[in-house]
Amino acid sequence: MRMRHLLTLFLLPGLLTAALANPYETTLKNGLRIIVKEDRRAPTVAQMVWYRIGSMDEVDGASGVAHVLEHMMFKGTPSVGPGEFNKLVAAAGGRDNAFTSRDYTAYFQQVPKEKLAEMMRLEADRMRHLNVDPKEFAQEIKVVMEERRMRTDDNPQSRLFEQMNAVAFQAHPYRRPIIGWMNDLETMTAADAKSWYDTWYVPNNAYVVIVGDVDHREVFALAEKYYGVLESRALPVRKPQVEPAQEGTRRVNVKAPAELPVLIMGYKAPVLRDVEKDSDPYALTMLAAVLDGHDAARLTRKLVREDKVALSVGIDYDSTARGPGMIYLHGSPSAGRTVADLETALRAEITRIQKDGISEQELKRARAQLVAAQIYKLDSMFGQAMEIGQTESAGIPYQKIDRMLEKLQQVTAAEVQAVAKKYFSDDTLTIGVLDPQPLDSKARRAAVAARH
């Protein structure tokens, strides 16, 4: 275990046992948690502020407000003018951005380590003191509509995925797109964004993750200084909005200008709620690795390489989330083959696992990749901060990350076969198909004008 010794030495020279405590955590009186992972490999640091608020907390008619507010967070406070936040980060030699998911909204800066204190000051300032200026809002909402056009409206695969979720979920807010429906964006006001901010942006609804060349005690002191003065406030009750059981296959077709058809088969699947007691999410993760974990894993090997029924094929499953889970199979049929051919082939692969299971060799290979990935992940401070933040966002303590990896290692071939039988059921299946349309229905030649 050279790796462990090296890291131990590296993180806390002279204090071999203390390194086991890394990452370190403290909770301020206002409820804000500060998680610090010391990583001394380079003189940089990543700060991420995670708010437990995402598009799933929105209501009908206001879809997209979580993401719009994320944009507005760069538009100033009484002490930092509009656009100044980015300017100050840039002046510090930093990079910054933010992202909104169904489950959370997160903000980050990567900076030389000397600049961490200033980044903490800036994030603390906008945690409770944001201006939501109607003029700034009027410009920024246009930017968000352009973002929607770019990411979704002009992207056939994204449109298909948006429609899939709108059909797969009916009661649960995962049915709404993160970016929001266009009409909701068109009618959103600065007051909507302000109300969102006032309700949810409080220290007791957030946690800070810091990974880098820092001493956790100094970071805790800085956190007390900058974040400690912010007041907490009680949060509204969040209703569970449990999705009723699906009882029959649902289908959705999307027509869009494209060349290749796309098929997505999404099955309802569990996510991890209890790290110790749950077992199916681990088995589903290993199932996904066996089906699609490398270039010659089952799906690509059989459907793309051997049978040539697909141009590409894959599987997506995320074992952690605040809301309900899905496991998606997706692909595009080869020229001369149809979506129906691809669906048949994917179903045959599912049946094969249900009937014959997987081999020890396949499982061993997936485990080897998992072990290596845990070492490779240490090559990125930002990646480590993301892992801690995302795990926490799903309600799982970051201290359980290693335990989750152990549990993954313990998954047996029989368990993988069992989850394939249990969850690949037509009753909980939603099928989405992209039906490609010619670019110009009148088939007129694209005009080319050249002007010198």
Residues 192-251 that bind other proteins (CB under 8 A): none
Three-class secondary structure of residue 439 per DSSP: coil
Burial of 167 (0-12, 13-18, 19+ CB in 10 A): middle
Question: What is the distance, to the nearest Å, from the Cα of residue 182 to the centroid of all Cα atoms in its chain?
Answer: 22
Q: Per-residue x/- mask for other proteins, residues 330 to 369, rule CB under 8 A?
A: --x-xx----------------------------xx--xx
Given 38, 70, 123, 140, which residue is catalytic?
Answer: 70
Q: Per-residue x/- mask for other proteins, residues 138 to 157, rule CB under 8 A?
A: xxxxxxxxxx-xx--xx---
Cα gap 158→166, rounded to integer Å: 12
Interaction residues for other proteins, span 57-76 (CB under 8 A): 74
Does 378 help bind other proteins (rule: CB under 8 A)?
yes
Element (H, E) at 46: strand 44-51
Choosing from 247, 276, 295, 356, the residue that interacts with other proteins (CB under 8 A) is: 295
Does 99 help bind other proteins (rule: CB under 8 A)?
no
CB of 150 to other proteins, least distance (A): 5
Ramachandran region, residue 273 (left: φ > 0; alpha: ψ -120 to 50; beta: rest): alpha
Does 92 help bind other proteins (rule: CB under 8 A)?
yes
CB 107 within 8 A of CB 74: no
Cα gap 436→160, rounded to integer Å: 11
Does 104 help bind other proteins (rule: CB under 8 A)?
no
**Binding segment toward other proteins, per CB under 8 A, in 187-195, 266-274, 328-336, 345-353:** 328-336
Does 314 help bind other proteins (rule: CB under 8 A)?
no
Element (H, E) at 331: strand 325-333
User: Based on CB atoms, which residue is closest to other proteins, 234 or 335?
Assistant: 335
User: Based on CB atoms, which residue is closest to other proteins, 101 or 155?
Assistant: 155
CB of 395 to other proteins, least distance (A): 30
Closest C-alpha to 386, from 254, 211, 183: 211
Cα gap 214→192, rounded to integer Å: 39
**Binding segment toward other proteins, per CB under 8 A, in 167-175, 197-205, 298-306, 403-411:** 298-306
Choosing from 251, 372, 397, 425, the residue that interacts with other proteins (CB under 8 A) is: 372
Sign of CA dihedral 399, 217, 80, 198: positive
Does 95 help bind other proteins (rule: CB under 8 A)?
yes
Three-class secondary structure of residue 380 per DSSP: coil
Closest C-alpha to 202, from 85, 385, 31: 31
Helix axes 134-148, 190-200, angle to 10 degrees: 90
CB of 437 to other proteins, least distance (A): 9
Does 15 help bind other proteins (rule: CB under 8 A)?
no
User: Based on CB atoms, which residue is closest to other proteins, 29 or 87?
Assistant: 87
User: In the annotation, is 146 catalytic?
Assistant: no
CB of 264 to other proteins, least distance (A): 16
Does 18 help bind other proteins (rule: CB under 8 A)?
no
Q: Please give the positions annotated as active site.
A: 70
